Structure 1
Amino acid sequence: MNNAEEIMVESFAAQPGSLRIALVTETFPPEVNGVAMTLGRLVEGLLQRGHCVQIVRPRQPGVDSSSAREGLSEVLSAGVAIPSYGNFRFGMPSKNRLLKLWQHLRPDVVHVATEGPLGWSAVTAARKLQLPVTSSFHTNFDNYSGHYGLGLLKSPIDAYLRKMHNRTMATLVPTPALVQALQARGYRNVSVLSRGVEIAQFSPSRRSSALRASWGVGESDPVVLHVGRLAKEKNLGVVLQAFAAIQSRVPNAKLVLVGDGPLRKSLQDSCPQAIFAGLRTGEDLASHYASGDMFVFPSMTETYGNVVPEALASGLVVLSYAHAAAATLVQPGVNGVLVPLGEEAQFVQAAAALASDAATLQALRQNAAASVAHLGWAGVVDGFVGTLRTVVQCHGGHFSSLPAVQFVPPKPSSA
């Protein structure tokens, strides 16, 4: 253990009544993706509540260690870039290092947020040290494999993921539907921990006439928005098909794509009239959301899709397949439109019909923000802490099953 690590370990000391949590992840802010954002919100909430968090992650290219703050320490490992996936990196196996680290000062619980070699090492080390360990299922890597020429590896990847998660005391997932899907595939001890949305950041009040003018649209012209990585697994060909159908009915409509990725150039070549806004963060991202009218999301690989509640909170109508977050949050005829999974023609038709019906579009937009007002992060963090405490209490001299622990934020009363 080097001097830097000794300092980090010595700072990993919780106050009475709080938890020492080792969070192992291959992605974390300032990286821009749904998993990193979710973990950033959870860590911030944990620190605000007086818990102590040790983040174990790969070094991020061009990013120094996070600024020192009370209750937070970092242990950085080597990482290997994933081809065609930006700066995302798999952490290298680190079992011996983690054994030494956690023998020096044991965490109360280890939470493994990603399933790469670093995550597997963390589960192995935690079990060897008889530490309570939980995990999150954030990304359908087995489904992603087909989009990157690795279709033959789908079954081995699924077997690897199932084995890793079943070695933990609880696997946390964002929706009840995903609980059922994973249980059908042989996963054990799966529990729901919903995700939140930053209501103070994403709001219809962020709508900007100046931004819309820069896109070349008037106040009554519909803006069709997509936010996310420009990559194969996001099914962006359907976005372009949908927009072509929309333009045939509403020539003044505009398509705005927020995000970046390996498909950007080919998408620009296919749809040069679209606005490619690139990566946006913070208030700038919130303004881009709120300045749209209709959010189209045809991805079929999400475990959740944080962009769906962000779009709703920003006052956009959501058109999506009935899948992941959309299946839970979109209420047809109230705040959006759902299409059966994989029905591309129906998706395209629904997009054209919705964009060309200005009255319906406006009515649904009026309901969008209120429909997710109950999804603040505070409740999600409290649910996460409650799950970890239950795991710690249930943990004995061996790894036992965890009683079902679920946290789904309550929906607002209709009264």
Structure 2
Amino acid sequence: MTETSRRGVLAGAAAAATWGALPIARARAQAANTIKIGVLGDASGTYRDLGGPGSTICVRQAVQEFGAQGFNVEVVEADHQNKPDVGSTIARQWFDRDGVDMITDATTSSVALALNQLVKEKNKVMLNSGAATSDLTGAACTANTIHWTYDTWMLAHSTGAAMVRAGGDTWYFITADYAFGHALERDTSEFVRAAGGRVLGNVRTPFPGTTDFSSFLLQAQTSRAKVIGLANAGADTTNCIKQAAEFGITSRGVKLAGLLVFITDVHALGLQTAKGLVMTETFYWDLNDKTRAFTGRVRPRMPANAPPSMVQAGCYSASLHYLKAVKEMGAAAAKADGAATVARMKAMPVVDDAFGDTSIRADGRRITPAYLFEVKAPAESRAPYDYYKLLQTTPADEAFRPMAAGGCPLVRS
């Protein structure tokens, strides 16, 4: 230790002895005026590219844009490893010890469903951008959670219904064996049958950890279904698509329905492999001038200079709206009552560059238009990440499950 630093330590000790509780009082006052946002997602596994560090970067972008508004904002992050027990342990510690007020990202439906109950118990806030299960605004809905970006019903309604209309009336599902995959298969199957189609079978794949999907793909091919529905996401989806191409399955007239495909997946596949894929998203970086402006602000800090995914953009949008609600309520009131903060968020219009003007329903579903895209062929792409062409837009009030049909106990009949 240098003489300068030694003198600094001694001076600090003397000040603490002299002024006693003053530093503690200041620390308590600062904590009472500090909002803490926890980004809890997959930082090392299947969903790292679509969420992970990029989600934290987008939350920090929201904090930066919100600016100094009379209270401090801190952002912490952690990896739940796609395990509900790990996610719950981290969140409980955040709430009980670290003073975290709001959790976002929450990629992985099994984790989000576990957090949903913990957030209710602790009267905190969860703004879910990454998990897909529509149960979060159905039977599992609470006054402390908002489902922000997309869900399995919306994906099934847009992508699944479009595939059936195009002649894909027999389906076989390859499904990630946990809450998300089950919900996506369930919701898509309902649309297939309602449109006069048939589900010929399904196979459940262990999650996480499955990388070889060859036997599952061959089972699907043997069923003679016209469509193989991929009720999975992230690296699982890209592995399925790559291996289906290697086996020549799609060259035999079978269609792959990527029920949840992100721009990060298309980039990993390459346009030569991904061309023609049809998928649904609520955000695309090149959709309009505002999405391009938001992307331009955040992209220089994103991993590999990639544009944000739908999940990452949702973390930005949700965090920005949350901070606006905190400003209206006051930091102390927002910290004291998560349900009241969510109620204030529902009462306010949601406005940002990533999604435009949207709103939040009583069941906690943030509604936004859903966009059905087709992946371009290599010759159609003009620049890196110029991957999508828009096929159709479903208006916000039609894109998600009708509120009365979800069974959310917050909704009065």
Q: TM-score, normalised by structure 2?
A: 0.38
**Structure richer in helix, relative to its length:** 2
Higher relative contact order, structure no. (Cα contacts within 8 Å, ≥ 6 residues apart): 2
Rg larger in structure:
2
Normalised TM-score (structure 1): 0.38
